[in-house]
Amino acid sequence: MKPIKIGLLGLGTVGAGTFRVLRRNQQEIIRRAGRGIEISMIAVRDLPKAQAIVAGACEVVTDCLQVVNHPDIDIVVELMGGTEFTKELVLTAIANGKHVVTANKALLAIHGNEIFRAAQDKGVMVAFEAAVAGGIPIIKALREGLTANRIEWVAGIINGTTNFILSEMRDKGLDFATVLKQAQELGYAEADPTFDIEGVDAAHKATIMAAIAFGIPMQFDKAHVEGISALQAIDINYAEQLGYRIKLLGIAKRTTKGIELRVHPTLIPSNRLIANVEGAMNAVLVQGDAVGASMYYGRGAGAEPTASAVIADLVDITRLATADPEHRVPHMAFQPDSIRQEVVLPMAEITTSYYLRLSVADQTGVLADVTRIMADFTISIDAMLQKEPAQDETKTDIIMLTHQTQEKNVLAAIEKIEQLSSVYGQVTKIRLEQLS
Amino acid sequence: MKPIKIGLLGLGTVGAGTFRVLRRNQQEIIRRAGRGIEISMIAVRDLPKAQAIVAGACEVVTDCLQVVNHPDIDIVVELMGGTEFTKELVLTAIANGKHVVTANKALLAIHGNEIFRAAQDKGVMVAFEAAVAGGIPIIKALREGLTANRIEWVAGIINGTTNFILSEMRDKGLDFATVLKQAQELGYAEADPTFDIEGVDAAHKATIMAAIAFGIPMQFDKAHVEGISALQAIDINYAEQLGYRIKLLGIAKRTTKGIELRVHPTLIPSNRLIANVEGAMNAVLVQGDAVGASMYYGRGAGAEPTASAVIADLVDITRLATADPEHRVPHMAFQPDSIRQEVVLPMAEITTSYYLRLSVADQTGVLADVTRIMADFTISIDAMLQKEPAQDETKTDIIMLTHQTQEKNVLAAIEKIEQLSSVYGQVTKIRLEQLS
């Protein structure tokens, strides 16, 4: 059978990795797919650079439209990034009857509903394993491996840059700015790290996981997005003393009132396996009603790990190309006519536990005032740590872990606490999840 | 579209779990599969007990042949266990054009080649996600999620009973026999635990993983099988002092000389994530050339975790039923005509590191004698621990960790060492893997 023909948009890190792995493991891939997978055209911005990589193995052009409109191309692989022009290219490829593989989480989190509708109408596949957690086949696990389950929640370390920074802050006791600079020098953080450190990238991925776990549309605009740039080393240290690690988690949770979709720094008990996922590694923990907890761990970024996911999608499409379109794995895990709009809860309505740090005057009565306010808002305290004031200091820290409560109660209590004359500055609040 | 019809063989723990989860999550499963999945007939040994569970929801019979020969049944789910009569039933179902789902690792490790050949000839699917690591979708990860990779090795904690026993031995300092008894009382070990504790169950699963990771036939008879019944608490303790944990691993590894396929207790560095998989949980670590290390963690046994895998297979078959048989996911991950016979190395030819414990006379010169013998067999020592003799004792322990070497060298060195008059009894040998 003749090889399936690929058109590639973009030959950056991941594009070059895909090109390299496809060639290196050509024989192994044919043995699995039953058919060759061949890149026949690549669209790039920098022609000479691309030609040096490709070395005449396929045609290289600068016009993306040449790829998406080429009659011989079966699958368009989009690895160029961006959301607006890229959306148009992807929709054009679909309109031309081509299958699409993309690693672009922003594109799917923002325009996924529209793209999948177009693909459905046209009977083509849009595959996106590489969009979440790089080389870890988490999309496949959620869409196919766990189909027996009512999925209750998904919680993931899905941004390697921030996990690297948090690991370093903890290990070396350094502050955020110092570690970010090191991460940039080591290539673990981009020159403009905003999307990573402010949680936007994780929120794109959490949005995609929520959709396919629960059968709801992509709703990135409803996600709560909070990064790690305000996190202080002292809180990592206090958390450690209380038996917790701080990770940036993307959380999608089903509750009786609606869906929680949120990204924020989170305390996790140190003895949980996911709390021990260090450096730039990713891991996703999924709770299903039948399977219980299962976890998926691996490299969430990088040329070849991401290429691994891109090529797995190419093999899937090659294998499934002959299936009746109605019977392929649905793009969003659930059949298109069964995707349901469900409320994504505003942050005030979510329920979790909290770590609170207060800087207080070292005098009697402060703790009584604080705990009375907590009780007034029906927040019960699970653990407390009060530090001895340093020598010649009249200030000290109180750290409290709360039981489960609604966020609005905590916000209201914090407002009251900050009004106490014996409390200095703002209360630091970090959410805590038991993940059990 | 009318529901797909299931015939179930066996209604034990997993059968009843499958029945229950299919009914409980019926709506969720239809939303995913696009079609109902209905159990229409169950064959059991104990009719009254089964009728109490089923409560009239479907026909219950005692003759398995009624199920595999029934013209209305699309998929036969085999959850009865056994290898010989069961093989005949499965082959009959296939001959009748029915797809088969099985959780039976022994059946596949021993008769898989014959069963898959029959299925291929008939154009039906045989799915077996539940056969390895229960609810963890590891078969899917290997067959579909990691298709881009040349898989280098797979190492798994794939038997919950033995992992529970090892965790308890370590945590509580108890010996094997005591913990086994507790495990039996708690239902973590069977009344006859031989298959679990002697490594046979893990070897069935490792055989299956080796086949689909490397594209080789099932070769259970070539697997090295070694369990944990001879393991002593003292070695767990010494390993801990040296920074290692002991786990029963199933290992399948590709080397330039052939395939290593082995199950045995293994020292793993304590800081590896997989070393921290405790209790009855399972985890499989896979090393691919593109993706690097990835790990899959979850419950490896139990009614509903196993049912989760069985039902995922049912959904897969429902989704894929219309695909051209040539283009479905190949049973053994690689196309049938590309499965290659590769040498499975005899144990003497494998290469790894070793933990050795010697009971020696507390006198000068012993260590010199021992290390000379090691050097004679070109085994280099990575770490050593010599315990002070207990009061009034003239014996002491020497523990050595070796660098990588061939097993035959170690066996030869041990033989020489045991001949030394200053060495008492047998040398304890446990293999060590860095898993990196």
The fold adopted by the segment(s) B347-432 is Alpha-Beta Plaits (3.30.70)
What is the number of other CB atoms lying within 10 angstroms of the CB of residue A38?
A: 16
Put simply, the answer to whether A330 touches B28 (Cβ < 8 Å) is no
**Residue in chain A lying closest to B298 (CA):** A294
pLDDT mean across residues, chain A: 96
Q: How far apart are CA A173 and CA A176, in angstroms?
A: 10
The fold adopted by the segment(s) A4-136+303-338 is Rossmann fold (3.40.50)
Each residue's pLDDT tens digit, A77-104: 999 999 999 999 999 999 999 999 999 9
φ/ψ of A195, rounded to 5, equals -60, -35
Is there a common fold for A4-136+303-338 and A349-432?
A: no
Q: How far is CA B15 from the centre of its chain?
A: 21
Q: Superfamily for B138-298?
A: Dihydrodipicolinate Reductase; domain 2 (3.30.360.10)
Domain ranges of chain A: 4-136+303-338, 138-297, 349-432
CB B236 within 8 A of CB B169: yes
Task: With beta carbons under 8 A apart, name residues in chain A contacting B17.
Answer: 290
Task: With beta carbons under 8 A apart, name residues in chain A contacting B120.
Answer: none
Each residue's pLDDT tens digit, A252-295: 999 999 999 999 999 999 999 999 999 999 999 999 999 999 99
Question: Of A33, A242, A280, A48, which Cα lies nearest the Cα of A161?
Answer: A280
Which of A105, A140, A205, A247 is labelled catalytic? A205
Put simply, the answer to whether B308 touches A323 (Cβ < 8 Å) is no
Q: Which of B1, B308, B313, B314 to mutate to test the interface with A (most CBs of A within 10 A)?
A: B308
**Residue in chain A lying closest to B296 (CA):** A296
**Residue in chain B lying closest to A327 (CA):** B319
CB B250 within 8 A of CB B205: yes
Question: Of B314, B286, B329, which Cα lies nearest the Cα of B144?
Answer: B329
Task: With beta carbons under 8 A apart, name residues in chain B contacting A319.
Answer: 323, 327-329
Which of B98, B140, B205, B247 is labelled catalytic? B205
Question: Of A188, A352, A214, A198, which Cα lies nearest the Cα of A282?
Answer: A188
Each residue's pLDDT tens digit, A183-195: 999 989 999 999 9
Tell me the shortest Cα–Cα distance from B113 to chain A, in angstroms.
Answer: 17
pLDDT of residue A179: 97
Out of B24, B136, B148, closest to residue A311 by CB: B148
Task: With beta carbons under 8 A apart, name residues in chain B contacting A323.
Answer: 319-320, 322-324, 327
Out of B297, B327, B334, closest to residue A322 by CB: B327
Out of B129, B150, B291, closest to residue A135 by CB: B291
Task: With beta carbons under 8 A apart, name residues in chain A contacting B335.
Answer: 31-32, 34
Give the SS3 label for residue A270: coil
**CB neighbours of B145 closer than 8 A, spacing ≥ 6?**
A129, A137, A140, A141, A312
**Residue in chain A lying closest to B300 (CA):** A291
Put simply, the answer to whether B31 touches A150 (Cβ < 8 Å) is no
pLDDT of residue A328: 85
Residues pairing with B156 in the sheet:
B250, B284
Q: How far apart are CA A23 and CA A25, in angstroms?
A: 6
Tokens standing for A86? 């890229």
Out of B308, B310, B327, closest to residue A146 by CB: B308
How far is residue A289 from each of residues A147, A394, B25, measured CA to CA in Å? 11, 51, 9
Task: With beta carbons under 8 A apart, name residues in chain B contacting A32.
Answer: 147, 215, 330, 333-335
pLDDT of residue A326: 79
Q: What is the arithmetic mean of pLDDT over A140-162?
A: 98
pLDDT of residue B216: 97
Helix then strand then coil, in percent of chain A rounded to 5, is 40, 25, 30
pLDDT of residue A389: 82
Out of B17, B25, B32, closest to residue A333 by CB: B32
**Residue in chain B lying closest to A135 (CA):** B291
Q: Which of A39, A147, A308 to mutate to test the interface with B (most CBs of B within 10 A)?
A: A147
Question: Of B237, B239, B272, B242, which Cα lies nearest the Cα of B155?
Answer: B272
Q: How far apart are CA A318 and CA A326, in angstroms?
A: 16
Q: How far apart are CA A82 and CA A85, in angstroms?
A: 7
Tokens standing for A230? 């305000």
Whether ipTM exceeds 0.90: yes
Out of A31, A136, A141, closest to residue B338 by CB: A31
* CATH number 3.30.360.10 is the correct assignment for the domain at A138-297: yes
Those residues of chain B that have pLDDT short of 70 are: none
Tokens standing for A105? 């989480």
Terminal Cα distance for chain B, rounded = 49
Q: How far apart are CA A77 and CA A310, in angstroms?
A: 8
Put simply, the answer to whether A290 touches B21 (Cβ < 8 Å) is yes
Each residue's pLDDT tens digit, A308-337: 999 999 999 999 887 778 778 999 999 999
Tell me the shortest Cα–Cα distance from A120 to chain B, in angstroms.
Answer: 14
pLDDT of residue B121: 96
pLDDT of residue B350: 97
The fold adopted by the segment(s) A349-432 is Alpha-Beta Plaits (3.30.70)
Task: Output A374-377 pairs: Cβ under 8 A, ≥24 positions apart.
Answer: A374/A400, A374/A402, A374/A413, A376/A413, A376/A416, A377/A405, A377/A409, A377/A410, A377/A412, A377/A413, A377/A416
Put simply, the answer to whether A297 touches B273 (Cβ < 8 Å) is yes
Give the SS3 label for residue B405: strand
Band the pLDDT of A427: cuts 50, 70, 90. very high
Class of domain B4-137+303-338: alpha beta
A205: annotated active-site residue: yes
| DSSP state letters, B3-41 | PEEEEEE--SHHHHHHHHHHHHTHHHHHHHHSS-EEEEE
Task: With beta carbons under 8 A apart, name residues in chain B contacting A77.
Answer: none
Give the SS3 label for residue A259: strand
**Residue in chain B lying closest to A136 (CA):** B294
Question: Of A127, A129, A198, A123, which Cα lies nearest the Cα of A165?
Answer: A198
Give the SS3 label for residue B285: strand
Residues pairing with A295 in the sheet:
A285, B297
